[in-house]
Amino acid sequence: MRKITKIGLMASSLTVLTILGGAGVVQALDDPLSPDFVQEDGSFYSVDQIDAVWASVTEDYPDALPANVSFPADAPSFFHPEDAERPIFQTGLPGLIAARYWRCAWLDVSLDGAELGQKTAATAAQVALNGYKELPAVKDLVDVDGYNEQINEYATTLGVTPAVAEFDLECGIYTEAGNVR
């Protein structure tokens, strides 16, 4: 069994650490929104649970998405790998992925607003993006300032703005849902 944890997300957004193994199952639970696996190193959702957990996380999201954007009904492909393994996902990870989707949606509005000269849209997007570090899944798990420093360095290397660099690097979960820049 393959575990997918949020440890890597704390260090640099979607750089997810995958740990092989599955020993040490302490308890399995029946509630569809309670993790199927509670182990010494954390609690984990099964692939069979992930769409229900995703729906629960995104249903009443604490901060609005831009107009005409919604979360996908099913969890992104990140949670549905095509290999034969059946990974388990650490609790908190769906919230972090939803926060990434939210951030990408606002980055998209910011970039479109800047490209089209729509100052009001770009400003509204920047205000929303400034609230990213306060999202519940992000607040305690992501070093946003450190992440922004890494994105800024990457953008400088590419010769693009940080928003362009971040969108191109991190927003596959957003574009796979049909949101194409």
Tens digits of per-residue pLDDT, 70-85? 999 999 988 988 876 7
* Structural domain for 112, as ranges: 98-175
Q: 77-100 in b/e burial notation, b at 16+ Cβ within 10 A?
A: ebbeeeeeeebbbbbbbbbbbbbb
Asked if 84 and 120 sit in the same domain, the reply is no
- Is the pLDDT at 19 greater than 50? The verdict is no
| Percentage of residues of the chain with pLDDT beyond 70 | 78
3-state class (DSSP) for residue 56: helix
**Secondary structure percentages of the chain, helix, strand, coil, to 5:** 50, 10, 40
With H, G, I as helix, E, B as strand and everything else as coil, classify residue 36.
coil
The predicted model scores a pTM of: 0.80
pLDDT at 30 over 80: no
Encode pLDDT of 124-156 as tens digits: 999 999 999 999 899 989 999 999 999 999 999
- Choose the final residue of a domain: 69, 90, 111: 90
- 3-state secondary structure (DSSP) of residue 75: coil
